[in-house]
Amino acid sequence: MLPAWATVAIALGGAAIGAAGGILGAERISKRAYRSAERGLTHETTEAWRALLIETCRALSDAWLEFRWLLYPPSRKFGDFDAEAKDRLGPLGTTCAQTVAKARLVFGLDSEAGAAAAAVDQRIAELKDAHAAFLLEAHLAIRPEILWQPKDFA
């Protein structure tokens, strides 16, 4: 039989070992849970950012193509630049400017995508300048009673 103090020492030792094991196990589990939660949050953030980048690129591409195809057929004599097309020109130019600005903000002004967005903006301005005489002629054909103002096509 053991003395009383030895029984107490063994009981306290066993409790200390059990407590230390429980603390270390809980710490390991909490670290693992933290890392898992952190990875999940990083993944969700990355996916949201990637979706924003893709949506921005798609919007810029769509705006550019719509603007280009609005001007292309009439300028090549494949169709008429009618009142409906003229009415679409102003809002479409605004949409293009907004998507270019969004792309430059999302991707950064100094990034390759930002430079590409600036190039698209420059190309839209060139198309508008190149087609200024065509737009004036179309405007006079559609609405001769309304004097043409440069701001109409800005």
Calpha distance 16→25 (Å, rounded): 14
pLDDT for res 139: 58
pLDDT for res 102: 86
Reported residue count of the chain is 154
pLDDT for res 103: 85
What angle, 0 to 180 degrees and rounded to 10, lies between the N-to-C axes of helices 112-130 and 132-142? 50
For 96, the domain range is 4-153
Calpha distance 59→64 (Å, rounded): 9
Calpha distance 89→86 (Å, rounded): 5
pLDDT under 50: residue ranges of the chain: 150, 153-154
Report the run of H or E that residue 20 belongs to, with start and end.
helix 4-75
* pLDDT tens, residue by residue, 137-146: 665 665 556 5
Type of residue at 125: A
pLDDT for res 133: 66
Domains identified in the chain, total number: 1
pLDDT for res 14: 80
pTM exceeding the 0.95 threshold for the entire prediction: no
Tokens 């991707």 identify what position?
107
